[in-house]
Amino acid sequence: MKFNKKTIFVEVICAAFILLFIYAAASKIRDFEKFSVELAKSPILNPITSWIAIVIPLVEIVLSVSLMIKPFRLIALYSSFSLMVVFSAYIFAILKFSVYIPCTCGGVLQNMSWREHLVFNLGFVVLGGFGVLIHPARIKILSAQ
């Protein structure tokens, strides 16, 4: 594989997502009961709490592994970008429309306010979008058309 600035930047973006998702999944799994209880307090997720409490850490782990495997990296970047958009939309909805703001983050992220967490997530949305745009496989597909 030829390394240039774009390739290196994609590697860094993937590494950042891997660290984020592994850390987040480990925090949720380590204190699964607290995560599940707080999720159940969410006015948006309450009806699907038991399902979502299992799916979110699992998806984070699968995406982390997929980001490590080059043939899956582009689709994993698209998925990571999409997941961060969904997480950001959830935070925005909670901030705008909910009376109760649950605390479902663990570790370092629990020290952030929800507005700070939204900004943090939007930073990863931008990183993910940029990673998709400059990914060598995507560029190769577009140039072949």
* Each residue's pLDDT tens digit, 116-143: 989 999 999 999 999 999 998 876 665 6
Q: How many CB atoms lie within 10 A of CB 8?
A: 10
Helix 73-97 × helix 5-30 angle, to 10°: 50
Structure tokens at 75: 């689709």
pLDDT tens by residue, 60-99: 999 999 999 999 999 999 999 999 999 999 999 988 887 7
Question: Distance between CA atoms of 28 and 15, rounded to whole angstroms?
Answer: 20
pTM of the complete model: 0.88
